[in-house]
């Protein structure tokens, strides 16, 4: 069983195995990087947005 037959028979496994490892490794490094983490203050809505949405809801209820 030479390298040619191994490559021919197991090409999908040979390519997919390292690909999955690299994808998960990259995902882990992105998730653990502090540059990509959102701060708590970025998640809070602005008061103007909340007020606008409340006004839109009250207008829609009046129809």
| pLDDT (tens digit per residue) in 9-19 | 999 999 999 99
Q: Output the six-digit token pair for 21.
A: 């490892």
Give the residue-averaged pLDDT of 34-61: 66
Read off the pTM: 0.47
b/e 27-52 (16+ beta carbons within 10 angstroms → b): eeeeeeeeeeeeeeeeeeeeeeeeee
d(CA 46, CA 31) in angstroms, rounded, equals 26
Boundaries of domain holding 37: 3-62
Give the residue-averaged pLDDT of 15-30: 93
Q: Which of 14, 59, 28 is nearest to 4 (CA)?
A: 14
| Residue 26 pLDDT | 92
48 pLDDT tier (thresholds 50, 70, 90): low
What total of structural domains would you count in the chain? 1
């Amino acid at each position: 069983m030479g390298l040619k037959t191994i490559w021919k028979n197991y090409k999908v496994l040979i390519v997919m195995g390292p690909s999955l490892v690299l994808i998960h490794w990259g995902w882990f490094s992105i998730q653990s990087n502090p540059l990509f983490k959102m701060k708590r203050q970025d998640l809070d809505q602005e008061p103007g947005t909340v007020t606008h949405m409340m006004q839109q809801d009250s207008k829609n209820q009046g129809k």
